[in-house]
Amino acid sequence: MTVIDADAHVIENDKTWSYLAAEDRGYAPMILEQISGAQRQTNRGGVSKQWWAFGTNIQPSDSNVNFDDLPAESREMADVKRRIDHMDQLGIDVQVLYTTIFLSPCAPDAAAELALYHSYNQWLADIWKQAPDRLYWACMVPLNSMHRIREELEFCKENGAVSVFVRPYECDRQSFESYFFPLYEHAQELDLAITFHAGNGSVTNNKFLEPHNYARFKCSMASSFHGLLEFEVPKRFPDLRWGFIEASASWLPHALIDADKRLKRKGRRLDSDPLGANNIYVTIEVTDDVPYIIKRVGDDNLVVGTDYGHTDTSAEIEALRILRESGEVPAASIDKILGPNSTRLYGLN
């Protein structure tokens, strides 16, 4: 069985921005070193000392990076062979790569967004060419320049991208709004999944919620999922696949119950198999009550990722294997979650 890591990360570095055109190099982020003042903790209990600066927008660069277990060459993709060797050690056949820096808003304006995203996409394209059967990726598209997204999507599709990275709130809009329909239409035509990843692309909302990452990154994912169902957006794009990545799945039952109530008020009903009927896939985490979630939504639309580069890279994959051995979840369900479901989500057949 092919084991697919549905959510692995790359850590951006100077190489990422080396593809910028000469006239756009001023958009590249600066790395700031903190030498005084109160220092914040990383998500692994260390001290955060480095910051990315995009114009006046500043965010910590090392608060969500695993320095303990992963060499820089692997997490930053400077040595692709080393990354592949580590995947082999973990028993992972395929990784789908996601950004780190763009989990929060970065680009100060539309021109900067277009330049930074294209440079990132060129970097990932070159990484994919070194291991085209092992490393796929989620691409960035300039949603503030909708007239440019088709050409960017075509470039990415031709160079190993299998999905479009979308944050729950983009352009200070919500995922169900018609503004995004051109993106969904182009992605459907090019056989690219739309994968919402825990994050927040709204400048206003992101700043307001910044002290509370659960509200900023996780609740926004459940809200986007709910909005797509309530306003029946997947029905408009029946061949488009949707993913909700790195927000666990424990919120699914509540979101489904509430969406069903709201649809009934409109004289409609939620599908009996809401994930399957709408081509929606959700990553589970080992802290979820996996047996209950499977009982509630089935096992055909659940996937798993390691969050490689941010956490203990083997935790989720190994825990699912242990869960299978414990007998709490049928082995057949675990096998689906580890491989075939991600194969369908990302169109890897």
Whether 154 maps to a domain, the answer reads yes
295 vs 247: CA distance, rounded Å: 19
Confidence of residue 105 (pLDDT cuts 50, 70, 90): confident
Residue 14 clears pLDDT 80, i.e. is over it: yes
4 vs 317: CA distance, rounded Å: 9
In the chain the first and final C-alpha atoms are separated, in Å, by: 13
Total domains present in the chain: 1
Whether 194 maps to a domain, the answer reads yes
Q: Which range has the worst mean pLDDT, 11-25, 70-84, 268-282?
A: 70-84
Per-residue pLDDT, 200: 81
Per-residue pLDDT, 69: 67
Task: Work out the average pLDDT over 257-268.
Answer: 96
CA angle, residues 196, 174, 54, in degrees to nearest 5: 70
Whether 310 maps to a domain, the answer reads yes
- E strands, the chain, where? 4-9, 30-33, 50-54, 57-60, 94-98, 135-139, 161-166, 169-170, 173-174, 193-197, 242-245, 280-283, 302-303
The Cβ of residue 57 has, within 10 Å, a number of other Cβ atoms equal to 16
Whether 8 maps to a domain, the answer reads yes
- What percent of the chain has pLDDT above 90? 65
Per-residue pLDDT, 41: 61
Confidence of residue 250 (pLDDT cuts 50, 70, 90): very high
Look at strands 94-98 and 135-139 and give their pairing.
Answer: parallel
42 vs 64: CA distance, rounded Å: 6
What would the pLDDT profile of 34-57 be if each residue is shown by its tens digit?
777 666 666 555 666 777 787 767
> What integer best gives the mean pLDDT of the chain?
89
What would the pLDDT profile of 214-226 be if each residue is shown by its tens digit?
777 788 999 999 9
Whether 182 maps to a domain, the answer reads yes
Per-residue pLDDT, 52: 79
191's CB contacts (< 8 A; 6+ apart) are 157, 347
Per-residue pLDDT, 34: 78
Q: Which range has the worst mean pLDDT, 37-51, 134-148, 159-173, 303-317?
A: 37-51
DSSP string, 36-60: SS--PBPTTSSB--EEEEETTEEEE
Whether 54 maps to a domain, the answer reads no
Confidence of residue 110 (pLDDT cuts 50, 70, 90): very high
Per-residue pLDDT, 316: 76
Residue 95 clears pLDDT 90, i.e. is over it: yes
CATH number of the domain enclosing 152:
3.20.20.140
- Walk across the sheet containing 4-9 and list its strands: 4-9, 94-98, 135-139, 161-166, 193-197, 242-245, 280-283, 302-303
Residue 64 clears pLDDT 70, i.e. is over it: no
Any alpha helices (H) in 131-201, and if so which ranges? Answer: 149-158, 181-189
Residue 92 clears pLDDT 80, i.e. is over it: yes
Per-residue pLDDT, 15: 94
* Structural domain boundaries enclosing 334: 4-27+66-345
User: Structure pTM?
Assistant: 0.92
225 vs 197: CA distance, rounded Å: 11
Whether 51 maps to a domain, the answer reads no
Per-residue pLDDT, 257: 96
What would the pLDDT profile of 284-340 be if each residue is shown by its tens digit?
988 899 999 999 999 999 999 988 877 655 577 787 777 778 788 999 999 999 999
What would the pLDDT profile of 197-206 be if each residue is shown by its tens digit?
998 877 777 7
Per-residue pLDDT, 244: 97
149's CB contacts (< 8 A; 6+ apart) are 141, 142, 143, 182, 183, 186
196 vs 186: CA distance, rounded Å: 16
Residue 236 clears pLDDT 80, i.e. is over it: yes
3-state secondary structure of 33: strand
295 vs 290: CA distance, rounded Å: 9
Exposure string over 22-48, b if 16+ CB within 10 A, otherwise e: eebeebbbeeeeeeeeeeeebebeeeb
Whether 33 maps to a domain, the answer reads no
Per-residue pLDDT, 314: 59
- Measure Cα distances from 194 to 143, 187, 294 in Å: 13, 7, 23
Task: Work out the average pLDDT over 30-34.
Answer: 81
What are φ and ψ of residue 328, in 5° steps? -70, -35
Task: Work out the average pLDDT over 121-141.
Answer: 98
